[in-house]
């Protein structure tokens, strides 16, 4: 089921890319998760966990340096897994440096009883070339048991 959902999203992004000359790509890296609470069993280190993430993105150019960049990421933190689907408004501060902001929709497979959460993401993206970029983003959780996460990784436009 999960593989079919991811394949469907990838095919949708590919079809949008063909129709509107949108750029698509892959991204991945490390995440650093900061839990806000001391109760609960979050593993051997309840304050901070290091994990990984990977997924796909599409970059739709709007105008005057503005872009819309939806993403679909699979995130792993210790024994926990979830899908992260941010929808960013991206603005080019310089031709190679971008700021991203937007809501982030999250589906937790095994972390919370309330499996769906909405968060806010803030990010920076530096483009080394037309294909390779370095990005950092901060995902802010609003609820008591919703962790804050810092993502650091690379993106590659296909």
- The dihedrals phi and psi of 118, each to the nearest 5 degrees, come to -110, 135
Question: Quick check: 153 and 138 in contact, CB under 8 A?
Answer: no
What is the token pair recorded at 29?
Answer: 């890296």
pTM of the model: 0.77
Burial of 41 (0-12, 13-18, 19+ CB in 10 A): exposed
Q: Who wins on pLDDT, 6 or 93?
A: 93
CA–CA separation, 84 and 105 (whole Å):
6
Q: What is the pLDDT of residues 38-47, one digit of tens each?
A: 445 544 445 7
Out of 16-25, 45-54, 121-130, give the one with best mean pLDDT: 121-130
Look at 50-59, 99-108, 123-132 and tell me which has the smallest mean pLDDT. 99-108
What is the token pair recorded at 151?
Answer: 């993502």
What is the mean pLDDT of the segment spanning 105-126? 81
Question: Quick check: 122 and 112 in contact, CB under 8 A?
Answer: no
Question: Quick check: 32 and 75 in contact, CB under 8 A?
Answer: no
CA–CA separation, 102 and 157 (whole Å):
21
Q: What is the pLDDT of residues 70-96, one digit of tens each?
A: 999 999 887 778 888 999 999 999 999
What is the mean pLDDT of the segment spanning 2-11? 59
What is the token pair recorded at 118?
Answer: 């909405």
């Amino acid at each position: 089921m999960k593989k079919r959902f991811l394949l469907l999203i990838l095919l949708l992004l590919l079809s949008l890319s063909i129709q509107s000359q949108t750029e698509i790509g892959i991204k991945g890296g490390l995440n650093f998760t900061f839990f806000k609470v001391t109760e609960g069993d979050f593993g051997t280190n309840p304050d901070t966990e290091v994990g990984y993430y990977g997924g796909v993105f599409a970059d739709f150019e709007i105008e005057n340096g503005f872009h819309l960049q939806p993403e679909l990421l699979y995130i792993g933190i210790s024994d926990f897994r979830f899908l992260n689907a941010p929808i960013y408004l991206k603005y080019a501060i310089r031709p190679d440096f971008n700021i991203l902001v937007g809501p982030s929709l999250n589906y937790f497979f095994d972390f919370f009883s309330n499996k769906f959460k909405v968060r806010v993401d803030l990010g920076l993206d530096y483009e080394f070339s037309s294909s390779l970029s370095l990005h950092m983003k901060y995902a802010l959780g609003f609820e008591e048991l919703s962790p804050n996460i810092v993502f650091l990784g690379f993106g590659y436009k296909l």
